[in-house]
Structure 1
Amino acid sequence: MWATRYLILWFVIFLTLALAILASGHMVSWWWAAAPLVLSVIGVRDIVQRRHAVLRNYPLMGHFRFMFEAIRPELRQYFFEGENDGAPFTRKKRSVVYQRAKADVDSRPFGTELDVKLAGYEWIGHSLSPTKIASHDFRVVVGKGLAQPYSMSVFNVSAMSFGSLSSNAIRALNQGAKKGNFAHDTGEGSISAYHREFGGDLVWQIASGYFGCRHPDGSFDEEKFAVQANAPQVKMIEVKLSQGAKPGHGGVLPAAKITPEISATRGIPMGVDCISPAVHSSFSSPIGLLQFIEKLRTLSGGKPTGIKLCIGHPWEFFGIAKAMLETNIVPDFITVDGAEGGTGAAPLEFTDHVGMPLQEGLLMVHNTLVGIGMRDRVKIGASGKIITAFDVARTLALGADWCNSARGFMFALGCIQSQSCHTDRCPTGVATQNPTRARALVVPDKAQRVYRFHQSTLHALQELVQAAGLPHTSALRPFHIVHRINDHEIQLLSEMLKYLEPGDLITGNYRYQVYEKYWPIARAESFHPEIGSTFH
């Protein structure tokens, strides 16, 4: 309570007491104490109320944010007009999430605020014969034919670790996932007690640090993995090769930030920097990766097991595809993370200039699986700035089977994008390990908002799919999405983007330059290209 963010409240309370003492001695009128007394009552109420995390962490001061938020529509024309950098659209999406999470009306008058003549504007084609779909609970079965397949929602919580997010944020996400029957990806920080508390479905992410299933030297521990993986709450296993925020980088959690809870959850010692290596120690080749996947699938009792990656060198993913053909070991799913995504902190150069964007990465994974005749055996998830129902519809049309969202669900928790995640000073209690800041996030309230955001987004998706005249999200195709090229030209995505036909890569019908150049040099036995190959 003595933190600097409470100084204004303490000053007002002190001023109230001082004026009250002076008034009792008839040195000033009692009216002088009235104003600071009212402010003191408001400040105390801010701390004890459970709806607004910003006010709980910043009593009195936090009201300025809501004052500016209230007049935002009037200010938008002055601050946002003429901007084409995407910032206004991000703010608009965040506003939509807030409204849907709070169950406020999100309908808007006077038409779109977007410039429909601006290059890059997109829309979904509608039908003169709309369909009527019974439910917005769209699902896809992952791991069909396994002992424990999983019926997965098409919209889920993307990977965010305990340690990056607070305990209350994890609890609210999982309680919301439980109520809405959708999946919650643990992130690489393993399964904490807060993930388990409400029993929501988990996708357990295994990264290079093998947190939660490691020996003291950091290598993979089969016994520890089997114990956690066989918990009924764990529905799928995801081997993380890279992430959109900082692909190929690895990471370090400084010793000063390692709490006893994080130490117990990850299986790491206190007082020592926690290293997430850039590469896995359990395999070093595409074939080795698939053998590792098969091992995890067996140890977990036949649960869907797959990989997550941000696409980098094309020949490396082609090597994985060739390994599938050679071994007939196939991941049950591949989660494609776009370079534009990622809620975690990363060096500027990595966030802006490393990794393939989602559209190109998703297309490469989808096309490659089609080209080797295995698209029907592997489901594809996608993540990377996916927030609205249109984002989901567009991504599914490109070739994904389901979508994950990180920032969308962070907005639902109350994140205001203060850009202070790495400082441990998150004003809303979402991305902090400071217990006094984290307590501002009231779990039952925020869990309900997570649930409502998921339900509202799927309901909006249902309406889009119905308007397009389709029976299910699985029927979305690239020709349903229209893209503006310039003021006078539009194209369907199916005309703009390139797609392979089933079996093309097996028969050598490469069709496009990326396959013609890099498929022949990719190797199942190594992530490195064929020795002696040249690049132009």
Structure 2
Amino acid sequence: MGPGGLHVWLLFALFLFFSWIGFRDLMQNQHAVLHNYPLTGHLRFLFEFIRPEIRQYFLESDNEEIPFSRAQRALVYQRAKGASDKRPFGTLTNMYQPNVEVLLQKGNPTSAPDLNSLRVSVGGSRCTQPYAISLFNISAMSFGALSANAIMALNRGAQKGGFAHDTGEGSVSSYHRKYGGDLIWEIGSGYFGCRTQDGRFDPERFKTVALEPQIKMIEIKLSQGAKPGHGGVLPASKVTPEIALTRGVPLGEDCVSPASHSAFKSPIELCLFIQELRNLSNGKPVGFKLCIGNIADWFAIVKAMLESKIYPDFIVVDGSEGGTGAAPVEFVDNMGIPMRDGLRLVHSSLVGVGLRDQIRIGVAGKIVSAFDIMRALVIGADWCNSARGFMFAIGCIQSRSCHTDHCPTGVATQDRLRQGALNPLDKSERVYRFHHETLLAFADMCAAAGIKTHQEISEDLILRRNQQGKLQGLVDQLIKIPPGSLLSDQAEHILDEQMLGLGKQWHEAQPNVW
């Protein structure tokens, strides 16, 4: 055989080899990227080998200047896949730079709390069906924004791990119901799943869904971190028959979420709406989610609660740094108050009016690690939600194509072929492991800090280096309102002292108007 013939056979052998690899990629369901991009998808893994994300995690600190994806995505992948999350050679962070935070350990560490005890009961005096929520749960992401397979993977993982799955404002789909995981039903301004034909709130439709045993809590969405004060539109091209059925909207038309609610127009009406939903749901916990913006608006809600004596069972504070879906750049970067400041404001305000022990606080905003949970609880939260963490767990690679319907991993797309690459059974195990390993790390941190139960977490557990280079208590750099002080005639003076002149905001806040 001559050289020419040998070359032909060599090319044929390479063709067969690559064809076999491509066919194997297409048939497997462990790696969504390889399923959607047979053969060429291996380039991603080659680049990871050359400069692995794990190496980025080792070499780059949690400095706020470093993109989130570099600092913590690898940690999620490790825990979701059951790989070791240990780091050799100690910290490589410059511990003397501003904003570095440290958790203080005790000289006599205790045993780690049982993972089953890491829960908090949600439900005030008017709630007859309180819910024991995990300290770590899946934040709001709708069916429509996420694929059916992604929703099933998340809910099956939540069911196995015994934690909650927030539906997002896209209502409760058959994919949420399939595996029976606990659900928090989010009601947005479009009232999807409980709306009339003209898009207003329908009490009877709401009642039908709310009474389902799988629905554990009801969450009214006032605003969200990604685009606070902004409505949303799901284009008609993306409104599939399943989405139309789930949301109760016409097929072939844009699905619109208005910027504001039609069921209430003032803080006092919000309180009345909360009570209505609580009655319709037969006493299930009802609360609301918001990204703090105009502080006078928040104070108006506080005053409305005091005047009506109707209190939400919980409030979820969404940070402006959060948000997994696509949103206008200016809203993503410049609108709303960050999570820590918003959380501390809500917590301190409720302390100031004597309602903190009656209202639970959840929080969301780039929470992924056990330390993130610990920090949120130190600042004032009762539990934490995570969206992007659980998206990473089911395979999201942050391709930033969520709004194009071309998600390469099948997470954020309605394309049947693309989402078919995401195996719900396999990815649900990763959801479960990520949650379990993160809470396990949290329990270990509690033990090191001498904490037997998460209720013992105190405000002095975390120090933060300020801009002058001094370590001081984290909460000392945030506001602190004395208990009951906002009920006195000195409320405005106290707020001027604690919040840099916001006594005027308290004075202007009215429970009957926003």
TM value normalised by structure 2: 0.94
Secondary structure at 1:246 match in 2? coil
Counterparts of 1:114-513 in structure 2 under 5 Å?
A: 114-137=93-116, 138-145=118-125, 146-486=127-467, 488-510=469-491, 511-513=494-496
Counterparts of 1:50-65 in structure 2 under 5 Å?
A: 50-65=29-44
Deviations for 1:205-264, whole angstroms, at most 9, x for unmatched residues? 001000000000000000000000000000000000000000001011111111000000
- Is residue 117–residue 486 contact of structure 1 (8 Å, CA) maintained in 2? no
Mean alpha-carbon deviation: is it higher for 316-325 or for 442-451?
A: 316-325
CA-CA distance at 1:81 after TM superposition: 7.2
Give the whole-Å Cα distance in 2 for the aligned partners of 1:128 and 1:461.
18
Secondary structure at 2:509 match in 1? coil
Mean alpha-carbon deviation: is it higher for 83-92 or for 118-127?
A: 83-92
Task: Give 1 or 2 for the bigger CA radius of gyration.
Answer: 1
- Is residue 181–residue 200 contact of structure 1 (8 Å, CA) maintained in 2? yes
Give the whole-Å Cα distance in 2 for the aligned partners of 1:524 and 1:84.
40
CA-CA distance at 1:27 after TM superposition: 9.1
- Is 1:111 aligned to residue 90 of structure 2? yes
CA-CA distance at 1:497 after TM superposition: 2.0
State the number of aligned residues: 504
- Is residue 418–residue 426 contact of structure 1 (8 Å, CA) maintained in 2? yes
- Is residue 165–residue 430 contact of structure 1 (8 Å, CA) maintained in 2? yes
Secondary structure at 2:133 match in 1? strand
Give the whole-Å Cα distance in 1 for the aligned partners of 2:114 and 2:61.
40
Show the counterpart of 1:47.
Answer: 26
Deviations for 1:305-328, whole angstroms, at most 9, x for unmatched residues? 000000111111111111111111
Secondary structure at 1:336 match in 2? strand
Amino acid paired to 1:512: L
Secondary structure at 2:115 match in 1? coil
Change (3 A) 1:494 1:271: closer
Amino acid paired to 1:257: K
Secondary structure at 1:252 match in 2? strand
- Is residue 396–residue 474 contact of structure 1 (8 Å, CA) maintained in 2? no
Deviations for 1:432-463, whole angstroms, at most 9, x for unmatched residues? 00000000000111000000000000000001
Secondary structure at 2:384 match in 1? strand
Counterparts of 1:13-32 in structure 2 under 5 Å?
A: 29-32=8-11
Secondary structure at 1:204 match in 2? strand
CA-CA distance at 1:62 after TM superposition: 0.9
Give the whole-Å Cα distance in 2 for the aligned partners of 1:83 and 1:182.
27
- Is residue 291–residue 319 contact of structure 2 (8 Å, CA) maintained in 1? yes
Deviations for 1:321-377, whole angstroms, at most 9, x for unmatched residues? 111111110000000000000101110100011101001110111111111110011
Amino acid paired to 1:147: T
- Is residue 113–residue 443 contact of structure 2 (8 Å, CA) maintained in 1? no
Show the counterpart of 1:94.
Answer: 73
CA-CA distance at 1:474 after TM superposition: 2.5
CA-CA distance at 1:42 after TM superposition: 0.9
- Identity over aligned residues, as a percent? 56
Change (3 A) 1:281 1:351: same
Q: What's the C-alpha RMSD, in Å, of the aligned pairs?
A: 2.1
Structure 2 unmatched ranges of 5 or more: none
- Is residue 154–residue 403 contact of structure 1 (8 Å, CA) maintained in 2? yes
- Is residue 80–residue 88 contact of structure 1 (8 Å, CA) maintained in 2? no
Give the whole-Å Cα distance in 1 for the aligned partners of 2:68 and 2:393.
17
- Is residue 246–residue 350 contact of structure 1 (8 Å, CA) maintained in 2? yes
Secondary structure at 1:119 match in 2? coil
Structure 1 unmatched ranges of 5 or more: 1-22, 528-536
Give the whole-Å Cα distance in 1 for the aligned partners of 2:76 and 2:53.
20
- Is residue 53–residue 70 contact of structure 2 (8 Å, CA) maintained in 1? no
- Is residue 141–residue 151 contact of structure 1 (8 Å, CA) maintained in 2? yes
CA-CA distance at 1:498 after TM superposition: 2.2
From 506, 513, 520, the equivalent of 2:507 is: 520
Give the whole-Å Cα distance in 1 for the aligned partners of 2:153 and 2:21.
27
Give the whole-Å Cα distance in 1 for the aligned partners of 2:439 and 2:54.
31
Change (3 A) 1:110 1:48: same
Give the whole-Å Cα distance in 1 for the aligned partners of 2:79 and 2:63.
26
Secondary structure at 2:155 match in 1? helix
Give the whole-Å Cα distance in 2 for the aligned partners of 1:199 and 1:43.
36
